[in-house]
Amino acid sequence: MNAAVAVDRPTRGPSSLRRAFPWIGVAARLGLAVVWAWAGWEKAVNPAQAAQAVRAFDVLPESLVEPIGYALPYLELGLAALLVIGLGTRIVAGISAVLLLVFIAGIAQAWARGLAIDCGCFGGGGPIAPDQTKYLQEILRDLAFMVPAVWLLLFPRTRLSADSWLAIDDPADDDTDTDED
């Protein structure tokens, strides 16, 4: 006769995957930070070109083109810095997701209207030859960048972050592993 062997299993507790969430969050934070830092830096070194890229989308009144073109790189660099240090992670992820949706909508409307422009997402931007447009690739790229933003919206508590060091707890994170870094 085979006797069943009792195995003590915890009735409650995070799974190994759930324990990995804070580390996955670090990768999401840092990956998204690299995107924003790269995009912001490329625009900040040539703000007039960034304004030209905004102008090329032909959706804003001229009075807003330069303020947005000149400010956008610093917003992106600020998001990158906050993500690197992990401060206000859920808020920064939300702002990132909204900004990416705005970029996707801008690219989609340019495509739908038959504009031939480079989005200027990572520097450059402005009118280009119609056969050089890459709208589908740009939209898919921005959708891929949405993945870490959405992850951080759902799971903002990450390791190696100012949020955890400052004990900024999010009530939505009910039983996330709280061991120290």
Label residue 17 exposed, middle or buried (CB < 10 Å: 0-12, 13-18, 19+). Answer: exposed
**Per mean pLDDT, which range of 4-8, 63-67, 84-88 is the poorest?**
4-8
Using CA atoms, how far residue 90 sits from 10, 39, 141, 149, 154, in Å, is: 30, 21, 22, 9, 8
The per-residue pLDDT for 177 is 44
Residue with tokens 């031939």: 116
The per-residue pLDDT for 2 is 53
pLDDT digits (tens, 9 = 90+) for 95-127: 999 999 999 999 999 999 999 999 999 988 889
The per-residue pLDDT for 72 is 96
pLDDT digits (tens, 9 = 90+) for 141-176: 999 999 999 999 999 989 888 888 877 555 444 444
The per-residue pLDDT for 20 is 81
* pTM metric for this prediction: 0.80
Closest by CA to 116, choosing from 72, 58, 70, is: 58
Q: Which residue has the higher pLDDT, 3 or 166?
A: 166
- Total residues found in the chain within this entry: 181
pLDDT digits (tens, 9 = 90+) for 18-77: 788 888 899 999 999 999 999 999 999 999 999 999 999 999 999 999 999 999 999 999
- Spans of all domains in the chain: 21-165
DSSP labels, 77-91: HHHHHHHHHTSSHHH
